[in-house]
Each structure stands twice: as structure tokens, then as C-alpha cells.
Amino acid sequence: MGNDGKVGDGMLTINTLGKFQVMNAENVMNEDDIRSPKLTNLLVYLIVHRDRTLTLDDMAEALWQEEETNNPSGALKNLMYRLRNLMKQYLGNEEFILTNRGSYRWNPDVAVTADFEEFEKMYQQSRQKNISDADAIHFLEKSVDIYQGDFMAKIAEMNWIITLNTYYHSMYLSCVKKLCELYAKSELYDELDYLCSQAINCENLDEDLYYYLILARIKRNKMNLAMESYEKACRILKDQLGIRNSPKLCSIYDEILKMNKSAKADKIEEVREDIAEENPEGVFMCGYPVFREIYRLEARKISRLGEAEHILLLSLNSKDDESGAVSQADHFRIKNAMPHLEETLKKSLRIGDVAAQYSDSQYVILLPACTYESGMLVANRIVSKFYNDNKIYRNLKIKINLEEVEMAGNIIS
């Protein structure tokens, strides 16, 4: 659609992606001025459907959920009266809305520029056949600039708004991902970092966005930021979606591990300062990927150092279910118990031990310089302390598995 009709005295610009605003050359009317979600809803509906005449039924369906009003016709007339007065107050005397025997329509003579239409137009232009990467980037950047937030997010309750909200949100994600791809291809990593950071504010459950964000930080040699983003991504995806060890994030983690510092160290003290941990105490808690690397290193070390080392797996389970099937209620209890088990691990384990959450109901622990018997003592001490400190979780069972640390070729299953 875009600009249409004749430009009268007051051409209107409407913003719906993010903060809602209607503007002409002189004035601005926003949600705070309207102070009624119903009126905002009505105005946006009229503008979105300004190419056609709208019947009373169309509008009633758009404005009220079932049985929300007994007299939609009267309520609509009242709303229309209030809307016209508001627009008059803020945007001038022009006749914005036309009435015709039980139907309404936006006045075609009032030109409108709508951000959602501009957004879609830019996105479509970026998808033209044989378009160069530079031109595609240009159009996609414009699209992303226009998208300041989800479509009418504050009043996204009515079905027609939810539908458009989802439609533009998903278009925005496609837009961002395509732009990420092109930025990565063109090695524009500062832009890639900024784009992904912005997009994650709008959609924080998309694995691809985290992938590109971490990639940008790796390429910019921001090792700590890359690691932080990776850990945050893993935590969010696990907590919100139950996604664990996503292949895409695992692949980028391998890239983080290959990173080195960009700046040359003049003295070894600089290196030490960068590496050293301040006041380390107790068990080393880390994410599973870090744990896996430490395990591999330990497996190599023990063959040289003559040390016995064991790996301990603690699994929380329902007490009455031997089959391993966990009810929803138990699943909920286990989820709540996990942070308490972590607390117990922190209190019970020694400095030099390493622990990580393996799954939603399991922790995995490395016990260096520890025989099988000592390992079992440690495990039983953890279990007793957990039950002692958390009596409400006594109905959960903790299963103990203890095995020797070994390299893959030696493991006998």
C-alpha cells in the first residue's frame, strides 16, 4: 500500500511497530493521549483496512470478544464519536473517517504512511531476484530500522492484532537472519554484533540469533563476551525451551575454544592476570561443555600423574517410580530441587572438584585424587546433607553412579 490517496492538508504518518503514534506535519497523537485501548484499536483497524468499506459486523468482531457488549452498534457509534473528537483535537479538522449507512471507511483523500507497510515493502525489495548483496543489505537495514518493536504490542489481545503481530514478528526475524547472513558473508562483524544484540531484545529464544551474536564476538576477538553470550544462550534455551546441546551452539562453542588473544602480552604477568581467578573457593561450578573439556584434560593427566580420579553422576528422581517415568508434579518438584542440590554441592565439595549440571535432573562431578570408596563417601555425604537441609524434598530419590575417569578407548561398557 504505502502512500496513497491525495495529500491533503494533513498527511498522516502512523507508527505501529513499537511505540504507537499518529502524526501530521505539526502534531503528534500517541497512546497516552488516546488513553483508551479500544479507541486505539479502532483507529488502527480503520487505517490497516483503509482500502475498503467496513461493516458494523467487521468492526464489532475486531473490537469486542464474544459477549463483551450487548449493543455493538451503539458502542461503536459512541467510540467513533470519541475518536473523531480526539483526532480533531490533535490532528486537525479534516474528515478522517467517512460514514455511510451502517458502514465506515477511512477517507481516501487523507494520505497515510504506515510503518508496517514500509517495513514490508523494504523486506520485499531485499528479496528481489538477482539483487546484489550491497543492495539487499541496504533494504534489510531499512526494514530493521523501521521495526522498533512488535506490532501494537500494548494492545495485542484481539485476534486480528495477534495475527498481524505474529506476521510482522516472524517477518522481522527472517529479515534479521538474512541480514546476519549477509553481514557475516561481508565480514561486517561490528554491525552483526549490534544487529543481534538488538534483535535478541525483541526475540530471546532464537538459537540462530545467539549463534550470529557469538560468531560476531569471536570474529571481533571479544573472548569474554563471546563466552558470556554462549552461556546465556545455553541457559535461556534450556530453561525456556528445554533445548540442550543444540548442534548449532555446540559448533560455535568449538570456535570459542579455538580463540586466542588478539593483543600480544609484553609480560607473563599480563597473561596471569587475565587467567587468574580471584579468591577461588570450593568446587569449580561450570557449564557442561567446560566440564567436558576438563574431563578430557584430567583423563590425559591421570595417566601421567598416577592419580585415581572418579566421575560421579547424581540423578534426582521420583521415589516411587522405578521405571524412570516421571509425573508432571514430580518433574516440577525435581526442577525446583535442582538449585538446592547445587547449593549442597557447593557446601560439600572441595576446592579442585569440578561440577556441572548435566540435565534437568542430574549433576555430574569430577573427584580428583579420590578412590572409589572415598567417592562413595563423598556422594553419600552430599545426599545426607541435601535431605538434611531440604526436608521438603525427601520424597525425591537421588541415584548415585560412580565411575573411573578414563579416555574413550579404555571405557568398558
Partner 1 sequence: MFGEKKYYPMNGFRVCVDTAENDIIGVAYSPLESGSINYKGFNDLLLKMDSIFDRSGYPQSFQEKRSFRSEKKTQQPYKGIPSNNQRTAEIFDKHGVLATFDVIITSRRNTSWQGKVYAENGELAGNFDGEIELLDFLLSEKK
Q: Which residues sit at the interface with partner 1, rule CB under 8 A?
A: 302-308, 310, 369, 371-374, 404, 406
Smallest distance from partner 1 to CB 308, Å: 4
Q: How far is 93 from 141, CA to CA, in rounded Å? A: 37
Q: How far is 179 from 185, CA to CA, in rounded Å? A: 10
Smallest distance from partner 1 to CB 256, Å: 31
Smallest distance from partner 1 to CB 371, Å: 5
Q: Residue 248 CB: number of other CB atoms within 10 A?
A: 14
Alpha helices in 92-222, H assignment, sequence order: 115-126, 133-146, 159-185, 189-202, 207-219
329 vs 412 by CB, closer to partner 1: 412
Q: How far is 316 from 360, CA to CA, in rounded Å? A: 9
289 vs 368 by CB, closer to partner 1: 368
The x, y and z cell numbers of residue 237, run together, are 534455551
Smallest distance from partner 1 to CB 398, Å: 23
Query: 3-class SS at 31?
Result: helix
Smallest distance from partner 1 to CB 260, Å: 29
Smallest distance from partner 1 to CB 355, Å: 20
The x, y and z cell numbers of residue 338, run together, are 535442582
159 vs 371 by CB, closer to partner 1: 371
251 vs 374 by CB, closer to partner 1: 374
162 vs 305 by CB, closer to partner 1: 305
Q: Residue 355 CB: number of other CB atoms within 10 A?
A: 25
277 vs 373 by CB, closer to partner 1: 373
How many alpha carbons lie under 13 Å from residue 164 in its C-beta half-sphere?
Answer: 22
265 vs 407 by CB, closer to partner 1: 407
Cβ neighbourhood burial of 105 (10 Å; 0-12, 13-18, 19+): middle
Closest CA to 4 of 58, 54, 52, 56: 52
Smallest distance from partner 1 to CB 370, Å: 8
